[in-house]
Structure 1
Amino acid sequence: MSTDTQTSSESGGSVMDFLRKDTTGGLFLLIAMVLALVLANSPWSDFYFGLRDAEVGPGEVAGLQHTVGHWAADGLLAVFFFLTGLELKAEFVDGELHNIRKAILPVVAAAGGVLVPALIFLGVNLASGGEPTALHGWAIPTATDIAFAVSALAVVGSSLPVAMRTFLLTLAVVDDLIAIAIIAFVYTESVKFPFLIGAAVLLALFWFLTHKYMTWFMDKHWAAWVILLPIGLVTWWLVYESGIHATIAGVLLGFMVPVLKEKPRIIREEDPRLGLAPTLEHRFRPLSNGVIIPVFAFFSAGVAVGGLSGIKDAAMDPVALGIVAGLVLGKPLGIFGAAWLMDRFTSAEKDKDYTWLDMLGMTFVAGIGFTVSLLVAELSFGEGSPHSDHAKVGILCGSLLAAAIGAAFVAPRNAKYKAMRAAGNDPDTLD
């Protein structure tokens, strides 16, 4: 190999390694979010919203003509959820969640993080004597934005125990699946079961191919693009047409991929002994961190606040107040309370790699609720209605406040764990 070729290869490798880092995805996400907010509240707002709301796609083919923002949320984000499914599958098979006593705790905590914010929202709106239609938004503060929350934790908590990220990842995925189920059965007029059956058939085919020909797919880099990707796209379309939120197709496809036991916790390079799931995760993570997450954030986070008058009007609306209270107070109370009760009164237990104070910080990070919350707001009140606009302001303010409080908790704990690692004490091996 020539020196120039070797330098180019090393440079490409370093770029890909950089893009695989969670902190990279979090950084790009935050930049895209800030840019979206600036454009949405500037003289260039017409350009931003015109771009976001421009309809593209083969409208005459299966009705797939949607806005750019819709494609970013329902289409691109499915790839992120696919990677999430791969990572969770690995954790359940041979990772932090292999122990059912550890796995059940974040699942129940996620349920608590859905129930309590909904009750707080209903309580605020019932106590204010507001319009009955305001109650339609009870599900808005129940969702944790997995992309924002996990990336935010990576930015301020790069030295935290792996178990903390796994807990938050599991919590956010279960939380989103509950929210997606709410959308499907509360905000969807009907579910088309023939499409679901078709999706199930393709999922079974996906499982068969990835298990039967696992080594072949690992050896042939092109095979995943030529064979697995088309199956995944059709599965996504079938789930979408069924009326269920399409991103759930990504999680299901991820869970179909085989995972071998006794793999390293962090995948540094491709190795046939590691199995197909971590190999695909390793290959596609740069695409997710470098393109999918920032594009999704750019088109999802642009909310026209309306200046001080807009914030003032929103602050007078129980809908916005209920959302802020649900995200900032309801999430921590529901998640922490459910987790503590499970640890105290059942055989389930918190991972010993982190403390209850660490968990408290994570519960505030879980109050970041952009994506699904914005979607539920539109479904609850309709785009452009006063409640819808105020709900978006509430989501923005509540999510940012929850992120700030969470960072205030997590940053000092991260410094502590960083010092532990520097001293040669690995917090990931405390069990």
Structure 2
Amino acid sequence: MAAAPRSRPPFLGLLPLPERQAVTRALRTETVGGLVLLAAAVVALVWANSPVSSSYEQVRDFHFGIPALGLDLSVGHWSADGLLAVFFLVAGIELKRELVVGELRTPATAALPVIAALCGMAVPAALYAAIAGAGGGNMEGWAVPMATDIAFALAVLAVVSTHLPAALRAFLLTLAVVDDLGAILVIAVFFSSDLNFYALAGAVAGLAVFHLLQRWRVTGWWWYVPLGIMIWALMYNAGVHATVAGVAMGLILRTTRDQGEKASPAERTVHLVHPFSAGVVVPLFALFAAGVSISVSDLGTVFTSPEPLGVVVGLVLGKTLGIFAGTCLAARFTRAQLNPDLAWADVFGLSVLAGIGFTVALLIGELAFPGTALSEHVKAAVLIASLTAAFLAVLILRLRNRLYRRLYEEENLDADADGIPDIYQRAARMTAEQAPKDGTSG
């Protein structure tokens, strides 16, 4: 008798309890970091548009460093080129974890978030190119609307207090990991110029030593911190954006545990570095990147100039269309499928929410239009688009709030107060009842 075809496992359906706890911890940290990021952005906007705005520019443009090593940078550049490498280190570790033990480890489960993220990057870039091309604008900013700011998006969810089920939140997190990888590749390939091959060779050699230290199970921060700083400095002097050094080291760190090991090097690094990244690094970058002087005429320029208009349309409309269409295509033509408890309206709400582009979008805007008035207009466009996407997403998610609350309560109900949600116990009982009894023959 032919075996019955195996049903396709739902993408991010009922997560294993340890995996669910890991996702919950990561989301809690990102949410808190997003709230701090939001506060830093508000401070930057108020400061840059206040009577003492000149002091903001003086602080942002103040230079310090070691000129002999090619590291005489302004405060703004130190936050973008230096501190932000820590943020990308964490992003690299999260990507490595997803590739090794997470939802991206098998093609069947990786198909949906990868396709959705790729469409969510391609469509905004295409819309920007179409608008900028039709208006005779500068095409250099095509990559600005590609990025989603996961911390900012989760901060919006925290502010509106929605009850998203764990599977949908995990989908947003996985999508953002793939999105971050795309942004990193774009920065490395398209925004690296005047390469110094000697410095680049030194950075690659440093990464090779980093890999050997991991392979030989060498421990001790006194090995890795000086080596990491050296790799970062060489990468910066090589002409490659220094944040690439952060993600490269994150991808090298070992994510699997050896026998008897309580935590892998990647887990220990995230535990130590993530609070610093979320609470200090990203807010400082936002403080010196989001300080845009906005007037009525500037707002008019955002909607009349092709470059900033392309950014707004790309983030608000392009992200929504790209991610939603990509998810539909993945669910239709691959083995992956959404959790059956989730409606397409939920996916649409998160697609709109993904239009919040902040940290990486501002960074790419600075790289695309360095030191020009257009850079300020593009920054204003990123802020306006992010606020618009957040407002629209809140409206949609509030309409779904009743469903979210019901799903949340079902997932977290612990009637017997044993510390384990009842949904896992019910799943275990169903598995036991469906298994053949001892002594029966097929």
TM-score, normalisation: structure 1: 0.80
Shift of 1:115: 1.3
Structure 1 residues 84 and 125: alpha-carbon distance in aligned structure 2, compared to 1, 3 A threshold: closer
Q: For structure 1, which segment, 94-103 or 326-335, has the greater mean C-alpha deviation from structure 2 after superposition?
A: 94-103
Structure 1 residues 187 and 296: alpha-carbon distance in aligned structure 2, compared to 1, 3 A threshold: closer
Tell me which amino acid in the other structure corresponds to 1:391. V
> 2:277 matched to 1:288?
yes
Aligned-partner SS, 1:57: strand
Shift of 1:428: 9.3
- Preserved contact between residue 18 and residue 24 of structure 1 (Cα < 8 Å): no
> Counterparts in 2 of 1:347-366, with a 5 A limit?
347-350=335-338, 354-366=342-354
Q: Which residue of 2 aligns with 1:9?
A: none
Q: Quote the Cα distance in structure 2 between the aligned partners of 1:329 and 1:394.
A: 14
Aligned-partner SS, 2:371: coil
> 2:318 matched to 1:330?
yes
Q: For structure 1, which segment, 325-334 or 294-303, has the greater mean C-alpha deviation from structure 2 after superposition?
A: 294-303
Q: Which residue of 2 aligns with 1:84?
A: 91
- Preserved contact between residue 109 and residue 339 of structure 1 (Cα < 8 Å): yes
Structure 1 residues 199 and 360: alpha-carbon distance in aligned structure 2, compared to 1, 3 A threshold: farther
Q: Quote the Cα distance in structure 2 between the aligned partners of 1:237 and 1:316.
A: 40
Q: Which residue of 2 aligns with 1:68?
A: 75
Q: Deviations over 1:51-106 (max 9, x none)?
A: 11211211222x11111111112211211221222233233322333333222332
Tell me which amino acid in the other structure corresponds to 2:264. G
> 2:236 matched to 1:240?
yes
> 2:381 matched to 1:394?
yes
> Gaps spanning 5+ residues in structure 2: where?
1-24, 415-420, 429-442
> Counterparts in 2 of 1:247-258, with a 5 A limit?
247-258=243-254
Aligned pair partner of 1:300 in 289, 296, 311: 289
> Counterparts in 2 of 1:24-423, with a 5 A limit?
24-61=32-69, 63-127=70-134, 130-131=135-136, 133-153=137-157, 160-213=164-217, 217=219, 223-224=220-221, 226-260=222-256, 272-306=261-295, 308-350=296-338, 354-385=342-373, 387-410=374-397, 412=401, 414-423=404-413
Q: Deviations over 1:90-140 (max 9, x none)?
A: 33322333333222332222221121112212222344xx33x43333222
Q: Deviations over 1:292-323 (max 9, x none)?
A: 222222122211112x2321233222222221
Q: Deviations over 1:6-62 (max 9, x none)?
A: xxxxxxxxxxx999733321221111111111111111211112111211211222x
TM-score, normalisation: structure 2: 0.78
Tell me which amino acid in the other structure corresponds to 2:353. V
Q: Quote the Cα distance in structure 1 between the aligned partners of 2:319 and 2:206.
A: 36
- Preserved contact between residue 65 and residue 72 of structure 2 (Cα < 8 Å): yes
Q: CA RMSD in A?
A: 3.2
Q: Quote the Cα distance in structure 1 between the aligned partners of 2:202 and 2:262.
A: 33
Q: Quote the Cα distance in structure 1 between the aligned partners of 2:26 and 2:91.
A: 19
Structure 1 residues 277 and 353: alpha-carbon distance in aligned structure 2, compared to 1, 3 A threshold: farther
Q: Quote the Cα distance in structure 1 between the aligned partners of 2:244 and 2:171.
A: 19
Q: Quote the Cα distance in structure 2 between the aligned partners of 1:203 and 1:251.
A: 11
Aligned-partner SS, 2:262: helix
Shift of 1:163: 4.4
Structure 1 residues 382 and 195: alpha-carbon distance in aligned structure 2, compared to 1, 3 A threshold: closer
Structure 1 residues 380 and 78: alpha-carbon distance in aligned structure 2, compared to 1, 3 A threshold: closer
- Preserved contact between residue 254 and residue 266 of structure 2 (Cα < 8 Å): yes
Q: Quote the Cα distance in structure 2 between the aligned partners of 1:426 and 1:294.
A: 39
What number of residue pairs does the alignment pair up? 394
Tell me which amino acid in the other structure corresponds to 2:276. L
Aligned-partner SS, 1:66: strand
Q: Quote the Cα distance in structure 1 between the aligned partners of 2:52 and 2:26.
A: 32
Tell me which amino acid in the other structure corresponds to 2:413. A
Tell me which amino acid in the other structure corresponds to 2:53. S
- Preserved contact between residue 163 and residue 428 of structure 1 (Cα < 8 Å): no
Structure exhibiting the larger radius of gyration computed from Cα positions: 2
Aligned-partner SS, 2:195: coil
- Preserved contact between residue 157 and residue 414 of structure 1 (Cα < 8 Å): no
Q: Quote the Cα distance in structure 1 between the aligned partners of 2:368 and 2:240.
A: 16
